[in-house]
Amino acid sequence: MFDPKTLYITSAAMMAMMVLLNFLTWRTNKDTPGTLLYIFYPLVLFAAVIGFSVHSQLHLWQSIGFANALLFTASIIHGFSISQFLNYKGVELKLFLGITAILFVGLVYFSAFDDNLRYRILVSDLQHIAETIFLLYLFLRFARPLYPNGTIVYTIILLLVMSAFTARTFLMGDVTQFSLLDDNWFVTTLFINGVLAPIFYATGMALLCNEKRELNLNQLTEKAQKDLEIRGLFLSTISHEIRTPLNGILGSAQLVLNRTTNHRNKAYCEAIINSAESLNLLIDKVLDYASLDQSDEALYEEDVELKSWLNNLCLLLSPLAEQKKLSFELIYDLPEQACYYCDQQKLRQIVINLVGNAIKFTDKGSVKIRVELVKETNMDHTVRFSVIDSGPGIDKEDIDKLTEPYVQSSAGKIKGGTGLGLAITSRLLERLGSKLNIKSAVGQGSVFSFDVTLTLGELSLVEQRHHNPDCIIGLNVLLVEDLDLNQKIAIEFMAADEHKVKLATDGQSAMTLLQQHQFDVVLLDMNLPDLTGQEVMRKLKNIEHKNKRTPFLAFTASLSPDEIKEYLALGIKDIVGKPIKQEKLRQALSDSQSAQKPNISIELTDTLYDDTAVNSLKSGFSEDEISSVYNEFVLSARNKLIHIQQLEGVNNDQCIKLLHRQAGTALQLGFNRYGLALKKVERRLLDGKSSDGELTQAMNLWQQSLEAYLSFIRKNTLG
């Protein structure tokens, strides 16, 4: 075993190290209860070790009594400091102190009146056991939920200490002062309690303090978020109260201005009107900024023909430039027919903010909007919007601060304003996955630019549309669909008939759009990420919206007889089966505007690979785009199916979502038998059943489907 003298020296060194670590922990966490008292725990233990060393030289009962008293005091300090940290003052603390007092009386008795070394050791063991039981109770009952890491460290060492002293209580034989240092149990407990424990205790307290600090930060973050929501609600509510008297001031001033002939009174009225309008502008900006803090609304994307959209925007902004005799120009470096799928409201606000600022701060020269293509892929473009002015420029030290709220450049302080325009613009760009870039030099003007990746709109893919005279065109359609490929195909087919499409990717955003806009027809996917189509229909019956008479079409591959009956019972007018066929979609949209009865049918060939699927895509996509879609699906299908197998039974909700997306894409691309197999598994999981090995069968089916597809590709390539 270890040499006892070496252990005493090592123990003293560890106590000193624990004092230092506890001091550093307290220094970092001065406001944390218990950390200051915890510094004294190793100090008193250190003094106890010194006391035992002195007793080995003096052999007096007073010296052993003093050393043991210090040991008991350290135990009380330990219990008190942990109790303070956990803010615990229960009856168990009083019980622990009572037991400690009784054992201390016993220790004094066996030191002064009945000098019995074995009994003194027994009393000391019982004290250590009582201390560890009390601390274990505190950690397992109160600390574990809040401070898991610190609890683990403390639990390990407390169990080790309790086990050692419990074993010594029962297994240590009679000892004398001369044989004590040679006893294995005495040396073992000295090593555990004097060398190991200080390391664990100091580490445990540091972890506890870190976790407490993290917990406090999380609580402060939650409080800040709640305060933010309350602030937004307060601003939204009080804005009406502010605007009411403000409108009264503006109206009254206008009346007086129109009726008075006194030039001095007219000047006063104009001053009142200008001040009220400035105040109104300030209120609008503050509310806009607050609403961005409070709102986490999704992007409402729709097809936008960019050049005509920008021309209309320039018509709105050019009068402002003309008033200041500025040259105003749109430099458009994109294809003439470029059409993109984007949230035009947010993009509009960004461009208006940037151009409005440029016109405001430019007194002579020009303001230009430049739109150019930065990066091009088959399915999307990265477009750079730049607003270039010949204004006074911005100091370098001001540029980094301009996107912070209520911060203005030196020119801004002269021209006036709220200092919120660029902050709002920056927040909006974050929503679009972009950021604002500013280049400027004093006296040389400024360039405000941002790059945004926009998905190609369906109108970009064809220049002319050929219409069937027998079908309806120009409907306002709400498409509720979460699968990207189905979105693109459906929008492309509907764009061919000049239908105007708004898109929702989940049930909640669909209900929001139905409350805000009137549609001619709604194409509703029956299996959405958040709600089923059935749930959407039921919820709509209980809320106010603008589409109570609007026909709803089910957009689904789930076409069992029971499901069809359920759809019709909920008020669905017709069903558009997946995979999407243009003629079926066109017919359903036309029939939706008449009293025509639904034609429920889906022609799906029972085959491994249906080569007619490619032809249905060719009407809306180029060969490169179709090839890209097929390649992505073929290369990823096996890995996605393996991932689905891993999720089954672990996270069935996610498993169902992945099955829905994979099955929908498979059916649309012509992998009919494989897609139907996945739909069958999806249906089983939705019904709360296991896949019963069908995912493994689906893997074999995919391999066969892939061989059939590759055979088709080789045949057409050779042909």
Q: DSSP labels for 420-441?
A: -HHHHHHHHHHHTT---EEEE-
d(CA 153, CA 203): 8
Judged by DSSP in three states, 419 sits in coil
Q: Quick check: 211 and 147 in contact, CB under 8 A?
A: yes
CA distances from 402 to 346, 407, 424 (A): 20, 6, 11
Contact 540, 514 (CB under 8 A): yes
State how far the Cα of 682 lies from the Cα of 339, in Å rounded to an integer: 36
* Distance of alpha carbon 570 from alpha carbon 478, whole angstroms: 18
Lowest mean pLDDT among 62-66, 528-532, 579-583: 62-66
Least confident of 9-13, 33-37, 301-305, 685-689: 301-305
Q: State which amino acid sits at residue 656.
A: I
Give kind and range of the element (H or E) at residue 100.
helix 91-108
Residue 53: which pLDDT band, with cuts at 50, 70 and 90?
low
C-alpha atoms less than 13 angstroms from C-alpha of 43 in its C-beta half-sphere: 11
Average pLDDT over residues 321-349: 81
Mean pLDDT of all residues in the chain? 78
pLDDT tens digits, 420-436: 567 778 888 888 888 88
Of 28-42, 226-240, 583-597, minimum mean pLDDT range: 226-240
Q: 573: helix, coil or strand? A: coil
Cross-strand pairs, 368: 329, 388
CATH class entry, domain 302-462 = alpha beta
Q: Over 50: is that where the pLDDT of 463 sits?
A: no
Range name among 125-129, 155-159, 463-467, 494-498 with the lowest pLDDT average: 463-467
d(CA 35, CA 407): 42
Q: Which has the closest alpha carbon to 363: 391, 340, 394?
A: 391
Lowest mean pLDDT among 52-56, 278-282, 541-545: 52-56
To the nearest whole percent, how much of the chain has pLDDT over 70?
79
Pairing of strands 446-456, 339-342: antiparallel
Residue pair 129/165 in contact by the 8 Å Cβ criterion: yes
The yes-or-no verdict on residue 411 having pLDDT over 80 is no
What value does the mean pLDDT take over residues 614-623? 67
Mean predicted confidence (pLDDT) in 630-653: 80
Q: Which residue has the higher pLDDT, 124 or 176?
A: 124
CA distance 100 to 577: 79
Q: How confident is the model at residue 418 (pLDDT cuts 50, 70, 90)?
A: very low
Amino acid at 575: I
Average pLDDT of the segment spanning 678-686: 82
Going by C-alpha positions, the residue among 197, 174, 171, 198 that lies closest to residue 185 is 171
What is the residue type of 217?
L
pLDDT, tens digit, 9 for 90 and up, residues 690-719:
776 788 888 888 888 888 887 887 777 655
Q: Which fold has domain 469-593?
A: Rossmann fold (3.40.50)
Most confident of 53-57, 265-269, 324-328: 324-328
Tell me: the pLDDT tens digits for 240-252?
456 556 666 766 7
Predicted confidence (pLDDT) at residue 668 exceeds the cutoff of 50:
yes
Q: Tell me how long the chain is.
A: 719
Q: How many other C-beta atoms are found inside a 10 Å radius of the C-beta of residue 416?
A: 11
The pLDDT value recorded for residue 109 is: 82
Write out the E strands in 498-637.
500-504, 521-525, 552-556, 574-577
The pLDDT score that the predictor gives to residue 416 is 47
Highest-pLDDT range among 166-170, 291-295, 346-350:
166-170
Q: Whose CA is closest to 29, among 216, 200, 160?
A: 216
For 588-616, how does the pLDDT look when each residue is reduced to its tens digit (9 = 90+)? 888 888 766 665 555 566 788 887 777 77
Three-class SS of residue 552? strand
Joined tokens for residue 238: 């009080």
pLDDT confidence band for 95 (50 / 70 / 90): very high
Using 50, 70 and 90 to split pLDDT, how confident is the model at 417?
very low
Return the pLDDT at 156.
92
Please tell me the distance from the alpha carbon of residue 92 to that of residue 113, in angstroms, as a whole number.
31
- Both structure tokens of 545: 């919206």
Kindly state the tokens that stand for 569: 């019972």
